[in-house]
Amino acid sequence: MYHLECIECDQKYTKSEVIYTCKCGGLLDVIYDYSAIELDVEKLRTEAPSVWKYRALLPIEANPVTIHEGGTPLYRCDRLADKIGIKELYIKHEGLNPSGSFKDRGMTVGVSKGIELGMKTLACASTGNTSASLSTYGAKAGLPVIVLLPEGKVALGKVAQALIHGAKVLSIRGNFDEAVVLVRRLCDEEQIYLLNSINPYRLEGQKTIGHEIIDQLGLNVPDRVIVPVGNAGNVAAIYKGFKEFMKLGITQSVPKMTGIQTEGACPVTKAFKKGAEDIIPEKNPETIATAIRIGNPVNAKKALRAIYESGGNSEAVSDEELVQAQKDLAQLEGIGVEPASATSVAGLKKLVEAGIIGRDETVVCVTTGHLLKDPEEVINISAEPITVDANIEAVRKAVFSK
């Protein structure tokens, strides 16, 4: 049994209502009766992770729309740990989900819920990954999808995904924050189901990142989990996963949740540094990490609560710092991530150097999207391939030239 509840005024809504925010404007959370939920710890130890392994903690009754989301690897990264100067570092690579980002965890739950609610059309605004994922799950469900993208600011791979899966793709002459306002109005007025992370059911799927990290560490809790922050849903969702395992008596503590933004788009970090509970929206966000080029994150209050409550932190990194982290992941660990994803590692490095993260901590950095999402960025930051004639002398000369 579960219901929706406002995080501001505690107003309750039933699970059969199509609603995204409270009448007071507050964000909604899905509330369960945990005393009625049992997770088999033996099953946790033995069964391979996937979103639907944690079905007892998910708000879906019917058969879900699923294409094997979750169950992503948790890599131990000793070479990267050495370079940064910490004891134990893991990367949770969410880029290895079906559509190449963590959004698939939210979509398998959110789209399944939309079907339960009888919705016939699905929509989102997106910096790219949400649209790629929604288009994928809409196709699997056989439902039409509409996506609103900020013109010229979405990485190529993500646009390609939305197109091939058959979504109606609108390129908005405006930024992501403006697209969010438009899609919310469209969904309210036209009976279309909204699948941005303002939809609390999406975050229920994403909380399984927290469940999986505990599972993969043999039911141990890391000291800290570091997450890129854009629209600010994921950091709060993952924290909820950790809290649930504590409520169910599986663990005894939660990690310090640490949210990383970029210097050009960091309203959450600025609020954290002031000790504020909410953000001041930024008008013209700009960063190479287009996935998190967001000035007015809708879930900021949930994110800030997760960071404060867990004793975590927030920091902003420069584009140069995140590009270096992207190269380090690729060249020291064989992990290919898109620019936004590398902010977690860039933030770790910065906070270790500042003495805020201890060198003896066990840290998990979440990398949220796959390298191939944004091939153009990689080409722009890399040296050009060496063109040679098709003969062995030319090849040998190029191979041994400095």
197 in contact with ligand F0G (CB under 6 A): yes
Taking CB under 6 A as the criterion, the residue among 39, 109, 179, 340 binding ligand F0G is 340
CB 253 → ligand F0G: shortest distance, Å?
24
Only segment of 64-72, 125-133, 140-148, 280-288 that touches ligand F0G (CB under 6 A) = 125-133
Decide: 381 and 323 in contact? Cβ < 8 Å: yes
4 in contact with ligand F0G (CB under 6 A): no
Only segment of 51-59, 73-81, 185-193, 335-343 that touches ligand F0G (CB under 6 A) = 335-343
287 in contact with ligand F0G (CB under 6 A): no
| Residue with the two structure tokens 């030319």 | 394
- Pick between residue 116 and residue 324 the one whose CB is nearest to ligand F0G: 324
> Quick one: which of 263, 374, 370 has its CA closest to 319?
263
- How would you class 262 by CB atoms within 10 Å of its CB: exposed for 0-12, middle for 13-18, buried for 19 or more? buried
From residue 84, give the alpha-carbon distance in Å to each of 187, 348, 349, 353, 365. Answer: 45, 8, 6, 8, 13
- Pick between residue 66 and residue 135 the one whose CB is nearest to ligand F0G: 135
Instruction: Give the count of residues interacting with ligand F0G (CB under 6 A).
Output: 21
CA distance 24 to 19: 12
Instruction: State the binding string over 202-241 for ligand F0G (x if CB under 6 A, else -).
Output: --------------------------xxxxxxx-------
Taking CB under 6 A as the criterion, the residue among 59, 70, 128, 205 binding ligand F0G is 128
- Pick between residue 241 and residue 251 the one whose CB is nearest to ligand F0G: 241
Instruction: State the binding string over 341-380 for ligand F0G (x if CB under 6 A, else -).
Output: x--------------------------xx-----------
Decide: 323 and 276 in contact? Cβ < 8 Å: no
Taking CB under 6 A as the criterion, the residue among 127, 136, 199, 326 binding ligand F0G is 127
126 in contact with ligand F0G (CB under 6 A): yes
Taking CB under 6 A as the criterion, the residue among 72, 129, 258, 314 binding ligand F0G is 129
- Pick between residue 39 and residue 237 the one whose CB is nearest to ligand F0G: 237
- Pick between residue 216 and residue 368 the one whose CB is nearest to ligand F0G: 368
175 in contact with ligand F0G (CB under 6 A): no
From residue 373, give the alpha-carbon distance in Å to each of 22, 93, 162, 337, 344. Answer: 34, 14, 12, 8, 17
CB 291 → ligand F0G: shortest distance, Å?
3
| Residue with the two structure tokens 């000793």 | 78
CB 282 → ligand F0G: shortest distance, Å?
15
67 residue type, one letter: I
Where is 315: in which H helix or E strand? strand 313-317
Decide: 123 and 193 in contact? Cβ < 8 Å: yes
- Pick between residue 126 and residue 269 the one whose CB is nearest to ligand F0G: 126
3-state secondary structure of 386: coil
Within positions 28 to 57, which residues make up the interface with ligand F0G, using CB under 6 A?
none
355: left (phi over 0), alpha (psi -120 to 50) or beta: left
CB 191 → ligand F0G: shortest distance, Å?
22
Within positions 93 to 112, which residues make up the interface with ligand F0G, using CB under 6 A?
101
> Quick one: which of 312, 340, 4, 7 has its CA closest to 154?
340
Sorted by sequence, the CB contacts under 8 Å of residue 90 that are 6+ apart come out as: 74, 75, 76, 77, 213, 217, 222, 362, 363, 364, 365
Token pair, residue 218, equals: 């043999």
The DSSP 8-state label assigned to residue 47 in this structure reads S
- Interface with ligand F0G (CB under 6 A): 101, 126-130, 197, 228-234, 291-292, 338, 340-341, 368-369
